A and B are shown apart, each in its own frame.
Chain A
Amino acid sequence: DIQMTQSPSSLSASVGDRVTITCRASQGISNYLAWFQQKPGKAPKSLIYAASSLQSGVPSKFSGSGSGTDFTLTISSLQPEDFATYYCQQYHSYPLTFGGGTKVEIK
């Protein structure tokens, strides 16, 4: 199975900060990488697919990059509604696997 390692596991940031979350795959996955946002008690929301393509309706403050084994999710200017947990997921091969999550908290 492909292991997905996210870092950091949590971070504290202020409104307006630029935030970057990293995700590393245990083997090359090309660009078969997605990012999800989850708020407490809610279903995940799809943000990015194919490492850098925004899902419909997702604001452009979210961006993704990377290919192969190393990927990043960047939030350009953190807003109150962005405080949540973020997960990466590889869909290069079965079983699909998720990173452990990054909790973004208010400083």
Chain B
Amino acid sequence: QVQLVQSGAEVKKPGASVKVSCKASGYTFTTHFIHWVRQAPGQGLEWMGIINPSGGATNFAQKFRARVTMTSDTSTSTVYMELSSLRSDDTAVYYCAREFGGNSAVDYWGQGTLVTVSS
């Protein structure tokens, strides 16, 4: 069965970076893009970007373009999202989600990773 398992919660200081992982299993890793979506406490969902695990091509929301890096490791079927220059308003749960059908629709989601930014 398809599973996306994310790394554990993180606490970071303002200005630091955080790297969240998303390990895929149950399907051919390189045939499905991976989205990253975040949700601040009590708020809605916000799309951050997408990565093609095969080759690493990315597309980011303008808001994050200067601060986000997405990479993939095909040897471990893992995708990474790194966000730098963290601010308090980056405190959120970060989700990875699998694209299907080749048109950016999503089917499976990871369990989420809480990132807390606090001095």
Contact = CB atoms under 8 A, between A and B. Distances in A.
Interface of A: 32, 34, 36, 38, 43-46, 49-50, 55-56, 87, 89, 91, 94-101
Interface string B19-50: 00000000000000001010000001111001
16 contacts: A36-B106, A38-B45, A43-B111, A44-B45, A44-B109, A49-B106, A56-B107, A87-B45, A89-B45, A89-B106, A91-B104, A94-B61, A95-B61, A96-B35, A96-B104, A100-B44
Provide the main secondary structure of the chain A interface: loop
Interface string B40-66: 000011110010000000010110000
B106 A94 contact: no
A36 B108 CA distance: 11
Provide the main secondary structure of the chain B interface: strand
Contacts, number: 58
A95 B106 CA distance: 14
Interface residues of B, number: 23
A56 B101 CA distance: 13
